[in-house]
A = this chain, B = another copy of it.
Amino acid sequence: MIRHSVILKLKSDLGLEEKQAFFDAVDKLAVIPNVQKFEVLKQISTKNKFEYGISMEFDNQEQYDFYSNHAEHQAFIQNFWIKSVEDFLEIDYILI
């Protein structure tokens, strides 16, 4: 199991409609093949600057790579991520 996640802060000048469009686009990532336990999260600790998290699991690295390279994911990056996200951190976990 690989748990892929990203913690992010949206651009502060993002309008409500743009924000909604961003999260609608995020939701569509869940249907890319092999994506499991897809979650959209609100980050509530005051000890970091990030606002949201996206988390998903893959059975193995091949499935993760398939997702990363998938046209839908690439289109999401180009059309929504780059325009909307101010800062982020990718975190990938495996169970010890």
Contact = CB atoms under 8 A, between A and B. Distances in A.
Nearest to A4: B45
Interface in A27-49: 39-45, 47-48
Main secondary structure of the interface of A (DSSP, over half): strand
Number of copies of this kind of chain in the complex: 2
Nearest to A44: B92
B96 A48 contact: no
B92 A45 contact: yes
21 contacts: A2-B44, A7-B91, A23-B96, A39-B95, A40-B95, A41-B93, A41-B94, A41-B95, A41-B96, A42-B95, A42-B96, A43-B91, A43-B92, A44-B92, A47-B89, A47-B90, A48-B89, A48-B91, A52-B96, A53-B91, A55-B93
